[in-house]
Amino acid sequence: MIWQIDLSVLSLIVICGFATIMVKDLLSAAIIFGAYSFLMCLLWTEMGAVDVAFTEASVGAGVSTILFIAATFQTSRIVKARRHGRLISKVIGFLAAVVLGLVLLAAESDFPRFADPGSPASLHLSPYYITHTLTDTAVPNMVTSVLADYRGFDTMFETAVIFTAGLAVIAILRRSRRKDPEELPETYTISEGYKDTIIRFISRQLVPFMQLFALYVVAHGHHSPGGGFQGGLSWGPASFCWQ
């Protein structure tokens, strides 16, 4: 890894993190959060975790950003200022972040250095996975075998977390249907775009390529980084682009 690139990416991640918290415009915060997720995707790629980078790009920079923007239009764009307790909340949050950072730095000193061939993981875990993956799971790709077999319960509960988050988004964005027409709320339109607008035209042209890439990730998940999880998350943004 090139430390100059890593330092630049980490600096931008910290800046985006603080900017997301400090801005009062929720739409701007959602866009900055999308940039934060994209930088995290670059960081995971730099560290060699391509499958995690796939997930971060799909969930963080893709689906989550779109859902945050939709929730902003359905609720309010500006955060209401509180008269009391705002400074105290900031101080408590800052102190908690500092304490947690010190704890993580203290724990990091006991970790082996990155890609250390003499670390316990390299000496004990990795050789077992390399030599027994095909025998134990009948899956050629070690990443897929670890995600779906060796740590299958962990992956299952990760999927449960995403499902719960989806239910929460539906609960926020859905609209109740009332039987009495007189009680129906006034029509609320987020955007009155036309069918021939540039954004809608370009986004719909990208849908087939996004879907083909998602199918490729799913089909080659047993031979290369990817699989059903990353492929499904890559297919999701294509549905939003078609709307």
3-class state of residue 78 by DSSP: strand
11 in any annotated domain: no
Report phi then psi at 196, rounded to 5: -105, 20
Rounded CA Rg of the chain = 22
Specify whether the CB–CB gap between 36 and 16 falls below 8 A: yes
Q: What is the pTM of this model?
A: 0.57
Q: Is 223 among the domain residues? A: yes
For residue 58, the surrounding DSSP H or E stretch is none
One digit per residue, the tens of pLDDT, for the chain of length 243 reads 577 788 888 889 989 888 888 888 888 888 898 889 889 888 888 877 777 887 788 778 877 887 788 777 777 777 676 666 667 877 888 899 899 989 988 888 888 887 788 888 888 888 888 888 888 888 777 777 787 788 888 878 877 877 787 777 677 666 555 554 445 455 444 444 445 566 677 777 878 888 888 778 777 765 665 566 667 777 777 776 666
**Lookup: tokens for 66:** 């779109």
The answer as to whether 24 is a domain residue is no
Residue-number span of the structural domain to which 211 is assigned: 193-243
Quick check: is 208 in a domain? yes
Domain membership of residue 197 (yes or no) is yes
Structural domains counted in the chain: 2
Asked if the structure places residue 183 within a domain, the reply is no
Record the tokens describing residue 133, joined without a space. 């993956």
Residue owning tokens 């250390």: 116
Same domain for 170 and 210?
no
**Residue 108, domain member (yes or no):** no
- Do 124 and 161 have their domain in common? yes
Alpha-carbon distance 151 to 159, whole Å?
A: 13
133, 142 contact by CB (below 8 A) = yes
On whether the CB atoms of residues 49 and 83 are closer than 8 A, the answer is no
Report if residue 157 sits inside a domain. yes
The C-alpha torsion from 217 through 219 and 221 to 224, rounded to 10°, is -80
166, 212: one domain:
no
